[in-house]
Amino acid sequence: EPIIRFDKVNKWYGNDFHVLKDIDLNVAKGERIVICGPSGSGKSTLIRCINRLEEHQQGHLIVDGTELTDDIKAIDQVRKEVGMVFQQFNLFPHLTVLENLTLSPMWVGKMPKKEAEEKAMAQLERVRIANQAGKYPLQLSGGQQQRVAIARALCLTPKIMLFDEPTSALDPEMIKEVLDVMIELANQGITMICVTHEMGFAKAVADRVIFMDQGQIVEQNTPHEFFNNP
Ligand code: ADP
Ligand code: ADP
């Protein structure tokens, strides 16, 4: 049973812009997928449907056994299972690094403060940024901020992590520190879907590379096949 299943999923923006066309995609538990393709081909929209930041209009989308519909309970259920990291780090600038994790709306009030802080510190250690816990986001480099964003997503202990061009907003010298953290996560067996242009990362960790164009999946293969085909 796949952990994510797209079955003939279609989405339009407005009435006439057909952004996802008959998407069929099964993701196995623990699978690491990289999605690439030209700008505007629907990559971001596809992964945003998985945690219902966008909604599809046709077809079925099932995440960890729950079909995504308008049912708010189903949406909440799925959002507990799915962590997401964006191109822009989306940290709260007026909160410290630690507070960005402990005051995350997804889990605030769900456990005592001390327990939340311990959990948060453990995730900050996992991305090697625990020594910056008391700083404010803008006191950190872009690469450090993105690692905080990854730690925040991990606080939910998600089964699935989605990355939407996580290194595209970073200066070149900071890309590696973020990719290294992502490679470590990949090696820990979490299901991952990454929209990225970092083909070195794809080669290093992807089980499957998916190429999108104009709202369709036009090719999918192992990195080996994908990069060696003429
Ligand atoms: P990619 O991630 O491959 O660059 P996106 O999924 O971000 O592609 O966008 C696909 C297309 O849909 C683009 O042409 C984009 O301008 C358009 N689009 C994205 N979001 C919206 C929206 N909220 N309303 C209308 N069009 C959108
Ligand atoms: P990215 O490629 O990083 O996803 P985009 O420029 O495609 O960035 O989108 C940035 C935001 O603007 C997204 O929330 C997207 O849904 C929205 N957006 C993109 N294109 C359109 C559009 N044509 N009309 C309305 N909203 C859009």
pTM: 0.90
Residue type, 200: G
Six token digits for residue 89: 């780090």
What is the percent of the chain where pLDDT is above 90? Answer: 87
In whole angstroms, give the CA distance from residue 62 to residue 83.
16
Provide φ and ψ at 118, rounded to 5°. -65, -45
Provide φ and ψ at 226, rounded to 5°. -60, -45
Which ligand neighbours the alpha carbon of 87 most closely?
2
The predicted pLDDT at position 159 comes to 96
Q: What's the angle, vertex CA 159, arms to CA 155 and CA 162, rounded to 5?
A: 80
ipTM above 0.90, yes or no: no
pLDDT in tens, 50-91: 999 999 999 999 999 999 999 999 999 999 999 999 999 999
Pocket of ligand 1 (CB under 6 A): 13, 17, 19, 39-45
Task: Evaluate: CB of 168 within 6 angstroms of ligand 2.
Answer: no
The predicted pLDDT at position 106 comes to 62
Task: Evaluate: CB of 220 within 6 angstroms of ligand 2.
Answer: no
Give 210's strand partners: 35, 220
In whole angstroms, give the CA distance from residue 137 to residue 96.
7
Provide φ and ψ at 144, rounded to 5°. -65, -40
Residue bearing the CA closest to ligand 2, atom 17: 45
Cβ atoms of 16 and 37 within 8 Å: the answer is no
Is 110's pLDDT higher than 70?
A: yes
Q: How far is the CA of 82 from the centre of ligand 2 (A)?
A: 21
Which ligand 1 atom lies nearest to the CA of residue 42?
Answer: 6
Which ligand neighbours the alpha carbon of 40 most closely?
1
